[in-house]
Amino acid sequence: MKMHNNILIVINIFILLFFISVECFGVEYADYVLVKKSKHKIYLLKSGKILKSFHIALGGNPKGAKQKQGDEKTPEGIYFLDYKNERSRYYKSIHISYPNTSDVKRAKKMGVSPGGDIMIHGQKKGWGWLSFISQKFDWTKGCIAVSNKDMDVIWKMVKVGTPIEIRP
C-alpha cells in the first residue's frame, strides 16, 4: 500500500510540473505561416514542422493573385504579419504586409491601385455564431478568414513580424 501511495505522489508531482511548465513557458510560437489557397488551409509552422492547421475562407474571387483593389482576390507571395488589431470590425485581425514592392510595381504598370488592408481575421463582429456556414464559402474582399475560435489560437501563436507565404 505504501508503494502504491509513493507512485501516486510521483505521478501527481509529474502532472503538477507539466502544468507549471506550460504556464511558465506559455504557448509554442510559430516562426512561419503558410497559406495554401487551393486547399483552403492556413498552417502555423515552427522549424518546418506543422504546429496547427485551420480551414480558411478567402476572397470571393480566390483563383489567381491579387492584382488590384476591388478584385476580391487574396494575394500570393511572401509577406510579413506586421501588426495586430483587437478592435477590428472583425473578430481580431492580423495585418499582412501586402502590397510589397513588386505588387506596387505591377499595379503601377497596369495603372491601378494594388489595394491593401489584407488581414487574417475572424468573423464579422456579432456574426461569429454563423461561422459553421460562412466558413464553407469564400466571402472576404481578399482577406483570410477563420472561425473566432481558430483566430484565438492564431492570435496567441503568431507574433508580429512572422513571415507569411501565400501559395495558390
Strands (E), the chain: 32-36, 41-46, 49-55, 77-85, 93-96, 119-121, 144-145, 163-167
- In this structure, what C-alpha cell is assigned to residue 71? 478584385
Annotated catalytic residue, options 4, 40, 55, 121: 121
What DSSP character marks residue 124? Answer: B
In the annotation, is 4 catalytic?
A: no
In the annotation, is 95 catalytic?
A: no
Omega of the bond prior to 99 within 30 degrees of 0, cis? Answer: yes
Annotated catalytic residue, options 4, 24, 40, 143: 143
Catalytically active residues are: 121, 143
